[in-house]
Amino acid sequence: MKLEAVPGAPQDGDMEFVLATDKEFEEVVSMSHGIYGGLDYLPSRYHSWIVEKDRMVVLAKKGGNVIALLSMFVVDGGQTALLEGLRVAPWERGRGVAGVLQRFCCQLVKHRYPTVKVMRLTRDDKLTAKELSKYRVIAKQGILLVRFNAPDFSSRLSSLTLPLGLTRPPPPVLLNPDDVRGIFLERGGVLKDLLPNQTIIQDWQPFQALSGNHDLLRRKSLRWMVDDLSQPQVASLCTAPFPVPAGPLCFYLNIDVYGTGLQGIQEQLLSHLAAHAPSLPADVKCQLFLPPSMWRPMADFCTSVLGFHLEKGYTEQYLFESDI
């Protein structure tokens, strides 16, 4: 569906903006070839995104062909628009298309959702000084990317021995939806000091710790864990595995970790892996987002104890915000 001009939005004679449909899927996939180091989530999410409540997936077209995509998702009880999935066709990069599309989408969101006050986005690349001046930094996490072969790891799982600490933490607790609401999403909840700026960042998507986000987080089939129900020091959430373009039968697992208790993090990582690895056919790329100080000890654990391959050195994920 062609989007009509939106008051205040930029006009570009050559470009038209449309809402994405199933029809453009192949074009979007082929323009996305090779991005995000083979971990592009969009091919797995495109069809659900285009029908998701409070989400708009906008395409820029030139001469009838797709040249860029951006999704805006309204969360936090209508206060925040998340900017996601941005990509520009390789032959159109470096000409400001991303900026024009973002300004169009921000005006569209303001027009359709007048309650939205801010937009948020996560990035792992280096921003220019000009870009940095546009945003407030809300949170920062370290990114640890490892690869392992799932059948091989599953066969070794029962014989793995964890390094012994002075005191062994209690076994991690898997949360049910009511626990998630009480522990993660209610202001003043027990996790308030653990979450960076009261924000749950789930596989690049930031959500404020508000109960208004409960239903949409529930739809995601995540595994939520804490080390202790009443006074958690470590918490984590893990996506259900999904295929990525990195290789044939390659699956991706994303695990977000809060807290700095090393043994607790190790136990929760093992629990998530034990739940998912046995059902996976081949290589898995597993990305852990964690407090920066935990990157080195967890990289050592993953390589020396679990025998995983470290895919890249320390990188960071930033969560930015600007008024809309």
Ligand X SMILES: CC(C)(COP(=O)(O)OP(=O)(O)OC[C@H]1O[C@@H](n2cnc3c(N)ncnc32)[C@H](O)[C@@H]1OP(=O)(O)O)[C@@H](O)C(=O)NCCC(=O)NCCS
Position among 19, 29, 86, 305 found at the interface with ligand X (CB under 6 A): 86
Q: Assess 18 for contact with ligand X (CB under 6 A).
A: no
Pick out residues in 114-143 that bind ligand X (CB under 6 A). Answer: 123, 125, 131
d(CA 262, CA 267): 9
Cβ-contact 243, 251 below 8 angstroms: yes
Q: What string marks each residue from 167 to 186 as x (binds ligand X by CB under 6 A) or -?
A: --------------------
By C-beta, is 133 or 221 nearer to ligand X?
133
By C-beta, is 153 or 252 nearer to ligand X?
252
Cβ-contact 33, 51 below 8 angstroms: no
Position among 33, 47, 93, 136 found at the interface with ligand X (CB under 6 A): 93
Position among 96, 177, 281, 307 found at the interface with ligand X (CB under 6 A): 96
By C-beta, is 101 or 277 nearer to ligand X?
101
d(CA 223, CA 255): 9
Q: Find the shortest distance in angstroms from Cβ 117 to ligand X.
A: 19
Cβ-contact 73, 55 below 8 angstroms: yes
By C-beta, is 129 or 166 nearer to ligand X?
129
Cβ-contact 101, 58 below 8 angstroms: yes
| Residue 96: DSSP 8-state | S
Cβ-contact 210, 217 below 8 angstroms: no
- Partners of 228 in the β-ladder: none
Name residues whose C-beta falls within 8 Å of residue 212's C-beta, 6 or more positions apart in sequence: 76, 77, 78
Pick out residues in 31-70 that bind ligand X (CB under 6 A). Answer: 35
By C-beta, is 93 or 111 nearer to ligand X?
93
What is the contact surface with ligand X in residues (CB under 6 A)?
35, 86-88, 93-99, 123, 125, 131
